Chains A and B, each alone.
Chain A
Amino acid sequence: MYTASDLRKGLKVEIDGEPFIVTDFEFSKPGKGQSLYRTRLKNMVTGNAFEKTYRSNDKFRKAPLEERTMQYLYSQGDEYHFMDTKSYEQIAITAEQLGDNINFMVDNMDVAVLVFKERPIGVTLPNSVVLEVTRADPWAKGDTSGTDTKPVTVETGYTLQVPPFVEEGDKIQIDTRTGQYITRAKE
Protein backbone atom coordinates (compact mmCIF):
# COMPACT_ATOMS: atom_id res chain seq x y z
CA MET A 1 0.00 0.00 0.00
CA TYR A 2 1.10 3.52 -0.74
CA THR A 3 -0.11 6.63 1.08
CA ALA A 4 -0.46 10.01 -0.60
CA SER A 5 2.91 11.09 0.77
CA ASP A 6 4.55 8.37 -1.38
CA LEU A 7 3.14 9.95 -4.54
CA ARG A 8 5.75 11.21 -6.98
CA LYS A 9 6.24 11.42 -10.71
CA GLY A 10 6.49 7.95 -12.23
CA LEU A 11 4.77 6.06 -9.39
CA LYS A 12 2.37 3.36 -10.62
CA VAL A 13 -0.81 2.81 -8.66
CA GLU A 14 -4.06 0.90 -9.10
CA ILE A 15 -7.29 2.90 -9.14
CA ASP A 16 -10.66 1.19 -9.73
CA GLY A 17 -8.85 -1.90 -10.97
CA GLU A 18 -6.79 -0.08 -13.61
CA PRO A 19 -3.08 0.75 -13.59
CA PHE A 20 -2.24 4.46 -13.49
CA ILE A 21 1.07 6.29 -13.65
CA VAL A 22 1.61 9.66 -11.96
CA THR A 23 2.66 12.06 -14.73
CA ASP A 24 2.55 15.30 -12.76
CA PHE A 25 2.82 15.87 -9.08
CA GLU A 26 2.74 18.91 -6.84
CA PHE A 27 2.85 19.07 -3.05
CA SER A 28 1.00 21.97 -1.50
CA LYS A 29 0.16 22.93 2.04
CA PRO A 30 -1.63 26.16 2.84
CA GLY A 31 -0.51 27.80 6.09
CA LYS A 32 -1.92 25.88 9.09
CA GLY A 33 -3.78 23.70 6.58
CA GLN A 34 -3.36 20.09 5.62
CA SER A 35 -0.98 18.62 3.10
CA LEU A 36 -2.51 18.29 -0.35
CA TYR A 37 -1.06 16.17 -3.12
CA ARG A 38 -2.11 17.43 -6.52
CA THR A 39 -1.59 14.85 -9.22
CA ARG A 40 -2.18 14.13 -12.85
CA LEU A 41 -2.63 10.42 -13.52
CA LYS A 42 -2.54 8.55 -16.79
CA ASN A 43 -4.25 5.22 -17.37
CA MET A 44 -1.47 2.91 -18.57
CA VAL A 45 -3.84 0.86 -20.73
CA THR A 46 -6.10 3.46 -22.34
CA GLY A 47 -3.83 6.51 -22.06
CA ASN A 48 -6.69 8.56 -20.59
CA ALA A 49 -5.57 11.14 -18.04
CA PHE A 50 -7.23 12.97 -15.17
CA GLU A 51 -6.28 15.34 -12.37
CA LYS A 52 -7.01 14.74 -8.72
CA THR A 53 -6.01 16.15 -5.34
CA TYR A 54 -5.32 13.68 -2.54
CA ARG A 55 -4.85 14.10 1.22
CA SER A 56 -2.15 12.46 3.34
CA ASN A 57 -4.40 9.70 4.67
CA ASP A 58 -5.52 8.56 1.19
CA LYS A 59 -4.15 5.15 0.32
CA PHE A 60 -3.33 3.40 -2.94
CA ARG A 61 -2.69 -0.14 -3.95
CA LYS A 62 0.47 -0.72 -5.92
CA ALA A 63 -0.47 -1.42 -9.53
CA PRO A 64 -0.04 -5.20 -10.02
CA LEU A 65 2.40 -4.90 -12.88
CA GLU A 66 4.83 -7.60 -13.74
CA GLU A 67 7.92 -7.20 -15.84
CA ARG A 68 8.79 -10.18 -18.01
CA THR A 69 11.89 -10.59 -20.13
CA MET A 70 10.92 -11.41 -23.66
CA GLN A 71 12.74 -11.87 -26.93
CA TYR A 72 11.60 -9.93 -29.96
CA LEU A 73 11.00 -12.43 -32.75
CA TYR A 74 9.55 -10.74 -35.81
CA SER A 75 6.92 -8.31 -37.02
CA GLN A 76 4.00 -9.08 -39.25
CA GLY A 77 2.07 -6.08 -40.48
CA ASP A 78 1.08 -4.07 -37.47
CA GLU A 79 1.88 -6.82 -34.97
CA TYR A 80 5.14 -7.45 -33.21
CA HIS A 81 5.74 -10.92 -31.84
CA PHE A 82 7.65 -11.67 -28.65
CA MET A 83 8.56 -14.85 -26.76
CA ASP A 84 8.74 -15.13 -22.97
CA THR A 85 12.30 -16.36 -22.33
CA LYS A 86 11.14 -18.46 -19.35
CA SER A 87 7.82 -19.98 -20.41
CA TYR A 88 8.45 -19.79 -24.20
CA GLU A 89 4.93 -18.43 -24.49
CA GLN A 90 4.48 -16.13 -27.49
CA ILE A 91 2.54 -12.88 -27.53
CA ALA A 92 1.81 -10.08 -29.99
CA ILE A 93 1.94 -6.35 -29.26
CA THR A 94 0.63 -3.69 -31.66
CA ALA A 95 2.81 -0.96 -33.17
CA GLU A 96 0.63 1.63 -31.45
CA GLN A 97 1.38 0.16 -28.02
CA LEU A 98 5.08 0.05 -28.82
CA GLY A 99 5.27 3.68 -29.93
CA ASP A 100 8.77 4.94 -30.69
CA ASN A 101 10.27 1.65 -29.49
CA ILE A 102 9.83 0.13 -32.94
CA ASN A 103 12.63 2.37 -34.19
CA PHE A 104 15.14 0.47 -32.08
CA MET A 105 14.01 -3.16 -32.11
CA VAL A 106 15.99 -5.79 -33.97
CA ASP A 107 15.30 -9.52 -34.16
CA ASN A 108 16.28 -11.58 -31.10
CA MET A 109 16.65 -8.53 -28.89
CA ASP A 110 15.72 -9.02 -25.21
CA VAL A 111 13.21 -6.48 -23.94
CA ALA A 112 11.27 -6.00 -20.69
CA VAL A 113 7.52 -6.34 -21.26
CA LEU A 114 5.20 -4.77 -18.70
CA VAL A 115 2.24 -7.07 -18.04
CA PHE A 116 -0.99 -6.09 -16.28
CA LYS A 117 -3.43 -8.92 -15.55
CA GLU A 118 -1.90 -11.05 -18.31
CA ARG A 119 -2.17 -8.15 -20.80
CA PRO A 120 1.05 -6.68 -22.21
CA ILE A 121 0.79 -2.90 -21.87
CA GLY A 122 4.25 -1.63 -22.63
CA VAL A 123 7.82 -2.47 -23.51
CA THR A 124 11.06 -1.15 -22.06
CA LEU A 125 14.15 -1.48 -24.24
CA PRO A 126 17.76 -1.48 -23.08
CA ASN A 127 18.94 2.14 -22.62
CA SER A 128 21.06 1.83 -25.74
CA VAL A 129 21.11 -0.37 -28.81
CA VAL A 130 23.60 -0.98 -31.61
CA LEU A 131 22.16 -0.68 -35.11
CA GLU A 132 23.71 -0.85 -38.57
CA VAL A 133 23.70 2.20 -40.82
CA THR A 134 21.97 1.25 -44.08
CA ARG A 135 22.09 4.60 -45.82
CA ALA A 136 24.49 7.52 -45.46
CA ASP A 137 25.69 10.24 -47.75
CA PRO A 138 29.46 10.14 -48.20
CA TRP A 139 31.43 12.66 -46.21
CA ALA A 140 33.10 15.27 -48.37
CA LYS A 141 36.55 15.32 -46.76
CA GLY A 142 37.88 18.75 -45.98
CA ASP A 143 34.44 20.28 -46.05
CA THR A 144 34.51 22.35 -42.88
CA SER A 145 32.00 24.92 -44.03
CA GLY A 146 28.83 22.88 -43.49
CA THR A 147 27.07 21.68 -40.38
CA ASP A 148 28.79 19.20 -38.07
CA THR A 149 26.16 16.48 -38.40
CA LYS A 150 24.42 14.64 -41.23
CA PRO A 151 21.35 12.40 -41.44
CA VAL A 152 21.69 8.59 -41.77
CA THR A 153 19.16 5.76 -41.85
CA VAL A 154 19.63 2.60 -39.76
CA GLU A 155 18.40 -0.96 -40.35
CA THR A 156 15.02 -0.35 -38.67
CA GLY A 157 14.28 2.52 -41.05
CA TYR A 158 14.86 5.12 -38.33
CA THR A 159 16.67 8.32 -39.39
CA LEU A 160 18.88 10.34 -37.07
CA GLN A 161 21.66 12.94 -37.06
CA VAL A 162 25.22 11.66 -36.67
CA PRO A 163 28.78 13.07 -37.01
CA PRO A 164 29.93 13.31 -40.65
CA PHE A 165 32.50 10.48 -40.36
CA VAL A 166 29.81 7.78 -39.93
CA GLU A 167 29.50 5.70 -43.11
CA GLU A 168 27.15 3.13 -44.62
CA GLY A 169 27.76 -0.29 -43.02
CA ASP A 170 29.01 1.20 -39.73
CA LYS A 171 27.37 0.10 -36.49
CA ILE A 172 26.36 2.89 -34.18
CA GLN A 173 25.12 3.01 -30.61
CA ILE A 174 21.84 4.91 -30.08
CA ASP A 175 20.19 6.04 -26.85
CA THR A 176 16.68 4.51 -26.96
CA ARG A 177 15.27 7.08 -24.51
CA THR A 178 16.24 10.13 -26.57
CA GLY A 179 16.71 8.53 -30.00
CA GLN A 180 20.10 10.21 -30.26
CA TYR A 181 23.47 9.03 -31.51
CA ILE A 182 25.96 8.07 -28.77
CA THR A 183 29.04 6.67 -30.51
CA ARG A 184 30.31 4.50 -33.34
CA ALA A 185 30.38 0.85 -32.18
CA LYS A 186 33.65 -1.07 -32.45
CA GLU A 187 33.34 -4.47 -34.08
Chain B
Amino acid sequence: MAFSFLSRRAEIFQAVRLFFLEREYLEVDTPLRLPALLPEANIAPLESSGWYLQTSPELCMKRLLARGHDKIFQICKCFRKDERGTLHLPEFTMLEWYRTDIDYMDLMEECESLLRFVAERVASQSPASLTILADASWEYLSVTKAFDLYGRISLGEALTQGMFDEVLVRDVEPRLGFVRPTFLYDYPAQLGSLARLKSADKNLVERFELYVNGVELANGFSELTDAEEQHSRFVREREIAAGMGHSFGAMPEKFLDDLERIETAAGIALGVDRLVMLLCGAECIDDVVAFTPENL
Protein backbone atom coordinates (compact mmCIF):
# COMPACT_ATOMS: atom_id res chain seq x y z
CA MET B 1 0.00 0.00 0.00
CA ALA B 2 2.69 2.49 1.05
CA PHE B 3 4.48 2.03 -2.26
CA SER B 4 1.40 2.04 -4.44
CA PHE B 5 -0.27 5.23 -3.22
CA LEU B 6 2.93 7.26 -3.44
CA SER B 7 3.54 6.13 -7.00
CA ARG B 8 -0.11 6.85 -7.86
CA ARG B 9 0.30 10.29 -6.35
CA ALA B 10 3.39 10.91 -8.46
CA GLU B 11 1.61 9.74 -11.62
CA ILE B 12 -1.23 12.17 -10.92
CA PHE B 13 1.18 15.08 -10.47
CA GLN B 14 2.84 14.19 -13.78
CA ALA B 15 -0.47 13.85 -15.64
CA VAL B 16 -1.63 17.24 -14.30
CA ARG B 17 1.61 18.89 -15.46
CA LEU B 18 1.32 17.24 -18.88
CA PHE B 19 -2.25 18.51 -19.29
CA PHE B 20 -1.24 22.10 -18.64
CA LEU B 21 1.92 21.80 -20.71
CA GLU B 22 -0.10 20.63 -23.71
CA ARG B 23 -2.41 23.62 -23.24
CA GLU B 24 0.54 26.00 -23.06
CA TYR B 25 0.09 27.02 -19.45
CA LEU B 26 3.10 28.34 -17.57
CA GLU B 27 3.97 26.52 -14.33
CA VAL B 28 4.80 29.05 -11.61
CA ASP B 29 5.92 28.87 -8.01
CA THR B 30 5.29 31.77 -5.68
CA PRO B 31 6.22 32.49 -2.03
CA LEU B 32 4.45 30.42 0.62
CA ARG B 33 5.08 33.01 3.32
CA LEU B 34 3.52 36.44 2.88
CA PRO B 35 3.25 39.68 4.91
CA ALA B 36 -0.52 39.88 4.29
CA LEU B 37 -3.12 37.44 2.96
CA LEU B 38 -6.44 37.82 1.19
CA PRO B 39 -8.89 37.93 4.10
CA GLU B 40 -11.58 35.25 4.15
CA ALA B 41 -14.17 35.05 6.89
CA ASN B 42 -13.98 31.32 7.55
CA ILE B 43 -10.28 30.59 7.15
CA ALA B 44 -7.74 30.79 9.95
CA PRO B 45 -4.17 31.40 8.75
CA LEU B 46 -1.00 30.23 10.48
CA GLU B 47 1.46 32.91 11.51
CA SER B 48 5.14 32.66 10.71
CA SER B 49 7.49 35.17 12.39
CA GLY B 50 5.07 38.06 11.96
CA TRP B 51 4.12 37.02 8.41
CA TYR B 52 1.59 34.38 7.34
CA LEU B 53 1.69 31.03 5.58
CA GLN B 54 -0.50 31.16 2.49
CA THR B 55 -4.00 29.69 2.73
CA SER B 56 -4.04 29.62 -1.10
CA PRO B 57 -1.66 30.90 -3.85
CA GLU B 58 -4.46 33.13 -5.18
CA LEU B 59 -2.88 36.45 -4.17
CA CYS B 60 0.43 35.91 -5.97
CA MET B 61 -1.14 34.19 -8.96
CA LYS B 62 -3.55 37.04 -9.65
CA ARG B 63 -0.66 39.50 -9.35
CA LEU B 64 1.09 37.46 -12.06
CA LEU B 65 -2.03 37.75 -14.26
CA ALA B 66 -1.79 41.52 -13.77
CA ARG B 67 1.80 41.39 -15.03
CA GLY B 68 0.59 39.91 -18.29
CA HIS B 69 0.92 36.16 -17.73
CA ASP B 70 -2.32 34.92 -19.27
CA LYS B 71 -2.28 31.17 -18.48
CA ILE B 72 -0.61 29.98 -15.29
CA PHE B 73 -0.82 27.00 -12.95
CA GLN B 74 0.80 26.00 -9.68
CA ILE B 75 0.94 22.93 -7.45
CA CYS B 76 1.86 24.01 -3.94
CA LYS B 77 1.34 23.64 -0.22
CA CYS B 78 -1.35 25.63 1.58
CA PHE B 79 -1.89 26.00 5.32
CA ARG B 80 -5.11 26.42 7.26
CA LYS B 81 -5.16 26.36 11.03
CA ASP B 82 -7.40 23.89 12.89
CA GLU B 83 -8.62 22.08 9.78
CA ARG B 84 -8.29 18.39 10.49
CA GLY B 85 -10.60 15.54 9.55
CA THR B 86 -10.96 12.67 7.10
CA LEU B 87 -10.90 15.23 4.26
CA HIS B 88 -8.76 17.93 5.86
CA LEU B 89 -5.12 18.48 6.77
CA PRO B 90 -3.77 21.76 8.17
CA GLU B 91 -1.05 21.51 5.50
CA PHE B 92 -2.32 20.23 2.16
CA THR B 93 -1.52 20.28 -1.53
CA MET B 94 -3.41 22.58 -3.86
CA LEU B 95 -3.52 22.89 -7.63
CA GLU B 96 -4.58 26.32 -8.83
CA TRP B 97 -4.85 27.63 -12.35
CA TYR B 98 -5.81 31.01 -13.76
CA ARG B 99 -6.52 32.21 -17.25
CA THR B 100 -7.49 35.56 -18.72
CA ASP B 101 -10.40 36.16 -21.11
CA ILE B 102 -12.55 33.27 -19.86
CA ASP B 103 -15.37 32.97 -17.34
CA TYR B 104 -16.48 30.33 -14.84
CA MET B 105 -18.44 28.36 -17.44
CA ASP B 106 -15.31 27.94 -19.60
CA LEU B 107 -13.40 26.98 -16.48
CA MET B 108 -15.87 24.22 -15.57
CA GLU B 109 -15.29 22.77 -19.03
CA GLU B 110 -11.56 22.94 -18.63
CA CYS B 111 -11.78 21.36 -15.17
CA GLU B 112 -13.79 18.50 -16.65
CA SER B 113 -11.17 18.05 -19.42
CA LEU B 114 -8.38 17.96 -16.84
CA LEU B 115 -10.01 15.25 -14.74
CA ARG B 116 -10.85 13.12 -17.78
CA PHE B 117 -7.24 13.52 -18.97
CA VAL B 118 -5.76 12.54 -15.59
CA ALA B 119 -8.15 9.60 -15.11
CA GLU B 120 -7.18 8.17 -18.51
CA ARG B 121 -3.47 8.34 -17.78
CA VAL B 122 -3.33 7.08 -14.21
CA ALA B 123 -3.43 3.43 -13.28
CA SER B 124 -6.38 3.92 -10.95
CA GLN B 125 -7.12 1.43 -8.21
CA SER B 126 -10.69 2.54 -8.08
CA PRO B 127 -12.82 1.37 -11.01
CA ALA B 128 -15.86 2.96 -9.32
CA SER B 129 -14.27 6.42 -9.46
CA LEU B 130 -13.26 5.90 -13.09
CA THR B 131 -16.82 4.99 -14.05
CA ILE B 132 -18.07 8.22 -12.49
CA LEU B 133 -15.40 10.36 -14.18
CA ALA B 134 -15.98 8.65 -17.55
CA ASP B 135 -19.67 9.59 -17.57
CA ALA B 136 -20.48 11.32 -20.85
CA SER B 137 -22.51 14.19 -19.42
CA TRP B 138 -21.41 15.67 -16.13
CA GLU B 139 -24.11 17.29 -14.05
CA TYR B 140 -24.43 21.08 -13.84
CA LEU B 141 -26.69 21.99 -10.93
CA SER B 142 -27.36 25.48 -9.55
CA VAL B 143 -27.16 25.97 -5.79
CA THR B 144 -30.79 27.15 -5.75
CA LYS B 145 -31.96 24.01 -7.54
CA ALA B 146 -29.82 21.74 -5.36
CA PHE B 147 -31.42 23.16 -2.19
CA ASP B 148 -34.88 22.69 -3.75
CA LEU B 149 -34.08 19.08 -4.65
CA TYR B 150 -32.26 17.90 -1.55
CA GLY B 151 -32.46 20.52 1.21
CA ARG B 152 -34.97 20.39 4.06
CA ILE B 153 -35.37 24.14 3.46
CA SER B 154 -34.90 26.37 0.41
CA LEU B 155 -31.74 28.38 -0.28
CA GLY B 156 -33.53 31.59 0.69
CA GLU B 157 -34.69 30.15 4.00
CA ALA B 158 -31.26 28.67 4.72
CA LEU B 159 -29.62 32.07 4.22
CA THR B 160 -32.19 33.90 6.36
CA GLN B 161 -31.77 31.38 9.18
CA GLY B 162 -27.98 31.38 8.89
CA MET B 163 -28.08 27.64 8.17
CA PHE B 164 -26.53 27.54 4.67
CA ASP B 165 -23.48 25.50 5.68
CA GLU B 166 -25.46 23.07 7.83
CA VAL B 167 -28.02 22.31 5.11
CA LEU B 168 -25.29 22.05 2.48
CA VAL B 169 -23.22 19.61 4.52
CA ARG B 170 -26.10 17.54 5.90
CA ASP B 171 -28.60 17.41 3.03
CA VAL B 172 -26.99 18.49 -0.23
CA GLU B 173 -23.35 17.37 -0.36
CA PRO B 174 -24.13 13.70 0.42
CA ARG B 175 -26.25 13.61 -2.76
CA LEU B 176 -23.72 15.07 -5.19
CA GLY B 177 -21.48 13.29 -7.69
CA PHE B 178 -22.27 9.62 -7.09
CA VAL B 179 -23.37 8.65 -10.59
CA ARG B 180 -21.49 11.37 -12.44
CA PRO B 181 -19.51 14.38 -11.22
CA THR B 182 -21.59 17.41 -10.24
CA PHE B 183 -20.75 21.07 -10.72
CA LEU B 184 -22.68 23.08 -8.14
CA TYR B 185 -22.77 26.68 -9.43
CA ASP B 186 -24.12 30.20 -8.87
CA TYR B 187 -23.55 30.80 -5.17
CA PRO B 188 -25.17 33.48 -3.00
CA ALA B 189 -23.19 36.73 -3.33
CA GLN B 190 -22.06 36.71 0.31
CA LEU B 191 -20.34 33.32 -0.24
CA GLY B 192 -17.82 34.41 -2.85
CA SER B 193 -15.81 37.36 -1.66
CA LEU B 194 -13.37 37.20 -4.60
CA ALA B 195 -15.89 36.23 -7.29
CA ARG B 196 -17.64 38.38 -9.87
CA LEU B 197 -21.37 39.11 -9.46
CA LYS B 198 -23.60 37.47 -12.03
CA SER B 199 -24.79 40.16 -14.43
CA ALA B 200 -28.30 38.67 -14.69
CA ASP B 201 -28.75 38.40 -10.91
CA LYS B 202 -26.72 40.54 -8.54
CA ASN B 203 -27.64 38.31 -5.58
CA LEU B 204 -25.43 35.58 -7.04
CA VAL B 205 -21.75 35.22 -7.83
CA GLU B 206 -20.21 33.30 -10.75
CA ARG B 207 -18.73 30.63 -8.53
CA PHE B 208 -18.78 26.82 -8.71
CA GLU B 209 -17.66 23.76 -6.81
CA LEU B 210 -17.01 20.31 -8.23
CA TYR B 211 -18.24 17.26 -6.30
CA VAL B 212 -17.42 13.59 -6.83
CA ASN B 213 -18.68 10.94 -4.39
CA GLY B 214 -20.07 13.69 -2.17
CA VAL B 215 -16.58 15.15 -1.77
CA GLU B 216 -15.79 18.71 -2.77
CA LEU B 217 -12.81 18.57 -5.13
CA ALA B 218 -12.49 22.07 -6.56
CA ASN B 219 -13.73 25.62 -6.21
CA GLY B 220 -13.57 28.13 -9.05
CA PHE B 221 -15.02 31.44 -10.16
CA SER B 222 -14.98 34.34 -12.56
CA GLU B 223 -12.59 36.74 -10.87
CA LEU B 224 -13.80 40.01 -9.40
CA THR B 225 -11.47 42.61 -10.97
CA ASP B 226 -13.07 45.77 -9.60
CA ALA B 227 -10.54 46.90 -6.98
CA GLU B 228 -12.92 49.26 -5.21
CA GLU B 229 -15.58 46.58 -4.83
CA GLN B 230 -12.91 44.07 -3.74
CA HIS B 231 -11.65 46.50 -1.11
CA SER B 232 -15.08 46.91 0.46
CA ARG B 233 -15.60 43.11 0.46
CA PHE B 234 -12.22 42.66 2.17
CA VAL B 235 -13.28 45.15 4.85
CA ARG B 236 -16.35 42.99 5.55
CA GLU B 237 -14.41 39.70 5.51
CA ARG B 238 -11.78 41.14 7.85
CA GLU B 239 -14.47 42.23 10.32
CA ILE B 240 -16.00 38.76 10.43
CA ALA B 241 -12.56 37.14 10.73
CA ALA B 242 -11.51 39.56 13.49
CA GLY B 243 -14.66 38.60 15.40
CA MET B 244 -13.41 35.02 15.33
CA GLY B 245 -9.91 36.08 16.38
CA HIS B 246 -8.22 35.56 13.00
CA SER B 247 -5.79 38.05 11.49
CA PHE B 248 -4.60 38.25 7.88
CA GLY B 249 -2.11 41.12 8.27
CA ALA B 250 -2.59 44.54 6.69
CA MET B 251 -5.00 45.22 3.82
CA PRO B 252 -3.30 43.69 0.74
CA GLU B 253 -2.87 47.02 -1.06
CA LYS B 254 -0.40 45.83 -3.71
CA PHE B 255 -2.83 43.11 -4.68
CA LEU B 256 -5.66 45.66 -4.98
CA ASP B 257 -3.45 47.94 -7.12
CA ASP B 258 -2.62 45.05 -9.45
CA LEU B 259 -6.24 43.90 -9.66
CA GLU B 260 -7.07 46.98 -11.75
CA ARG B 261 -4.78 45.71 -14.50
CA ILE B 262 -6.71 42.45 -15.00
CA GLU B 263 -9.66 42.70 -17.37
CA THR B 264 -11.39 39.35 -17.41
CA ALA B 265 -10.13 36.16 -15.81
CA ALA B 266 -11.22 33.01 -14.06
CA GLY B 267 -9.37 30.84 -11.59
CA ILE B 268 -9.81 27.57 -9.74
CA ALA B 269 -8.36 25.70 -6.78
CA LEU B 270 -8.39 21.90 -6.71
CA GLY B 271 -7.45 19.79 -3.70
CA VAL B 272 -4.77 17.45 -4.99
CA ASP B 273 -4.85 15.14 -1.97
CA ARG B 274 -8.59 14.62 -2.53
CA LEU B 275 -7.98 13.90 -6.22
CA VAL B 276 -5.46 11.24 -5.20
CA MET B 277 -8.02 9.84 -2.72
CA LEU B 278 -10.57 9.60 -5.52
CA LEU B 279 -8.24 7.78 -7.89
CA CYS B 280 -6.90 5.47 -5.17
CA GLY B 281 -10.38 4.77 -3.78
CA ALA B 282 -9.14 6.02 -0.37
CA GLU B 283 -11.64 6.93 2.38
CA CYS B 284 -9.32 9.15 4.40
CA ILE B 285 -6.86 11.86 3.41
CA ASP B 286 -4.32 10.29 5.78
CA ASP B 287 -4.05 7.36 3.36
CA VAL B 288 -2.69 9.42 0.45
CA VAL B 289 -0.01 11.63 2.01
CA ALA B 290 3.51 10.60 2.96
CA PHE B 291 3.10 11.96 6.50
CA THR B 292 0.26 13.35 8.59
CA PRO B 293 0.96 15.95 11.32
CA GLU B 294 0.30 13.27 13.95
CA ASN B 295 3.03 10.93 12.73
CA LEU B 296 5.76 13.53 12.34
Contacts and interface: CB of A to CB of B under 8 A. Distances in A.
A28 B85 contact: yes
Contact of A27 (B84, B166, B187, B216): B84
Contacts, number: 53
A57 B244 contact: yes
A56 B192 contact: no
Interface in B198-238: 209, 216, 219
B83 A31 contact: no
Nearest to B218: A31
A27 B286 CA distance: 14
A33 B165 contact: yes
Q: Quick one: which of B42, B83, B209, B216 has the most chain A CB within 10 A?
A: B42
A33 B158 CA distance: 13
A27 B165 contact: no
Contacts of A57: 244
Contacts of B169: 28, 30, 33, 36, 38, 53
A30 B88 CA distance: 11
Given A53-B166, A57-B244, A32 B83 contact: no
Nearest to A5: B82
Contact of B86 (A5, A26, A36): A26
Contact of B244 (A29, A31, A38, A56): A56
B164 A29 contact: no
B42 A36 contact: no
A57 to B, nearest CB: 7
Q: Give the interface centre of A5, A26, A31, A53 by most chain B CB atoms within 10 Å.
A: A31
B170 interface: yes
Contacts of A31: 209, 216, 219
Contacts of B164: 33
- Best-surrounded residue of A5, A27, A30, A56 (most CB of chain B within 10 A): A30
B42 A26 contact: no
A27 B284 CA distance: 12
Interface string A27-64: 11111111110100000000000000100110000000
B209 A34 contact: no
Contacts of A35: 42, 82-83
Nearest to A53: B166
Interface string B267-296: 000000000000000000000000000000
15 contacts: A28-B169, A29-B85, A30-B168, A30-B173, A31-B216, A32-B187, A32-B193, A33-B42, A33-B165, A33-B169, A34-B41, A34-B165, A53-B166, A53-B169, A57-B244
- What 3 pairs across the A-B complex have the smallest Cβ distances? A27-B85, A33-B165, A31-B219
Interface of A: 5, 26-36, 38, 53, 56-57
